[in-house]
Amino acid sequence: MRIPIAAGNWKMNKTVAEASAYAEALLQELDTPGVEVIICPPFTSLYALSQKFAGSSVKLGAQNMHWELKGAFTGEISGSMLLELGCEYVILGHSERRHIFRETAEEVGKKVETALKLGLRPILCVGETLEERERGETEAILAYQLEKGIEGITTFPNVESIVIAYEPVWAIGTGKAATPQDAQEAIAFVRGKLSEQFGSEKAQQIRILYGGSVSPENVGQFVNQEDIDGTLVGGASLDAGKFLDIIKETA
Ligand code: PEP
């Protein structure tokens, strides 16, 4: 049984004061056993939220990290720093990191390896651009990003603690979500690749999320699909009320 996930990626939004007010609103209404709720705020709010969420079921995730443990990497954050702040998860390879900040698939793979080695659970994002989809390259792109992303962890005993997020780039922040059928098809393909790599027992345990313009209105159609184990939500997670509705629909 894979426990479904509702994960909120706040991107570069909310001050510490705003994040704290959101956490209070969320905790006041949150009563949804059976769904793992993960909030991924900017680094600056991680400490405050770890205090707010202490003793609750809400998990904390970061949006990025460096693959090295420490050193001369100005502006970067290490995995052990995230663990110290109470993070259980870290989003890696988000399309904004790959496309705006030019992160390569190899770099993402190094981050996944370090995260898992440290006991942080990576949420590895993969997804094709519109041009790649139109050229019929979706599966090739997913296979490549996945292969490089998990290259360093194939022999790890805890691979099942990784989460994959299928996020077609053209659906992120556009209001134009994938159809549930297209998302299911892509995610079933990803699970097949995980099965080739880790064996079917492990592949059946790994949670795979859909992300891209998820809303309270459309989330039900995604989580009802056989291989979709929840969602990674950007815009709609910024509003505590909307995110609570998404959590309820995920249960
Ligand atoms: C995301 O940031 O991962 C995302 C899917 O954004 P949105 O829900 O706004 O499309």
Give which of 206, 223, 194 is closest to 1, Cα–Cα.
Answer: 206
Q: Structure pTM?
A: 0.97
Average pLDDT over residues 178-185: 97
Q: Which of 232, 237, 239 to mutate to test the pocket of ligand 1 (most atoms within 8 A of CB)?
A: 232
Q: Tell me which residue has its CA closest to atom 6 in ligand 1.
A: 234
Q: Tell me which residue has its CA closest to atom 7 in ligand 1.
A: 234
- Whether 217 sits among the annotated catalytic residues: the reply is no
What is the whole-number distance in angstroms between the Cα of residue 169 and the centre of ligand 1?
9
Distance CA 14, CA 8 (A): 13
Annotated binding site for substrate: 9-11, 173, 213, 234-235
Q: How far is CA 94 from the centre of its chain?
A: 8
Residues ≥6 apart with Cβ < 8 Å to 212? 127, 167, 168, 170, 171, 172, 174, 177, 178
Listed by start position, the domains of the chain span: 5-51+59-68+75-250
What is the whole-number distance in angstroms between the Cα of residue 96 and the centre of ligand 1?
10
Q: So what's the pLDDT on residue 130?
A: 96
Q: So what's the pLDDT on residue 216?
A: 98
Q: So what's the pLDDT on residue 25?
A: 98
Distance CA 109, CA 1 (A): 27
State pLDDT tens for residues 125-145.
Answer: 999 999 999 999 999 999 999
Whether 251 has a pLDDT exceeding 90, the answer reads yes
Residues in the chain: 251
Q: So what's the pLDDT on residue 1?
A: 84
Q: Within 13 A of 69's CA, how many CA atoms are on the CB side?
A: 4
What is the whole-number distance in angstroms between the Cα of residue 117 and the centre of ligand 1?
27
Average pLDDT over residues 109-117: 98
What is the whole-number distance in angstroms between the Cα of residue 218 and the centre of ligand 1?
13
Whether 188 has a pLDDT exceeding 90, the answer reads yes
- Whether 66 sits among the annotated catalytic residues: the reply is no
Annotated binding site: 9-11, 173, 213, 234-235
Of the candidates 94, 96, 103, 160, the residue annotated as catalytic is 94
Residues ≥6 apart with Cβ < 8 Å to 144? 105
CATH match of 5-51+59-68+75-250 with 3.40.50.2300: no
Q: Tell me which residue has its CA closest to atom 4 in ligand 1.
A: 234
Q: So what's the pLDDT on residue 175?
A: 95
State pLDDT tens for residues 143-165.
Answer: 999 999 999 999 999 999 999 99
What is the whole-number distance in angstroms between the Cα of residue 82 and the centre of ligand 1?
22
State pLDDT tens for residues 215-243.
Answer: 999 999 999 999 999 999 999 999 999 99
Atom nearest to 177 CA in ligand 1: 10
Q: So what's the pLDDT on residue 32?
A: 85
State pLDDT tens for residues 1-49.
Answer: 899 999 999 999 999 999 999 999 999 999 989 999 999 999 999 999 9
Distance CA 209, CA 205 (A): 13
Atom nearest to 167 CA in ligand 1: 5
* Farthest CA pair distance, the chain: 48
What residues line ligand 1, using a CB cutoff of 6 Å?
A: 9, 11, 167, 172-173, 211-214, 232-236
Q: So what's the pLDDT on residue 196?
A: 96
DSSP labels, the chain: -PPPEEEEE--S---HHHHHHHHHHHHHH---TT-EEEEE--GGGHHHHHHHHTTSS-EEEES---SSSSSS-TT---HHHHHHTT--EEEES-HHHHHTS---HHHHHHHHHHHHHHT-EEEEEE---HHHHHTT-HHHHHHHHHHHHHGGGTT-TTGGG-EEEE--GGGTTSS-PPPHHHHHHHHHHHHHHHHHHH-HHHHHHSEEEEESS--TTTHHHHHTSTT--EEEESGGGGSHHHHHHHHHHH-
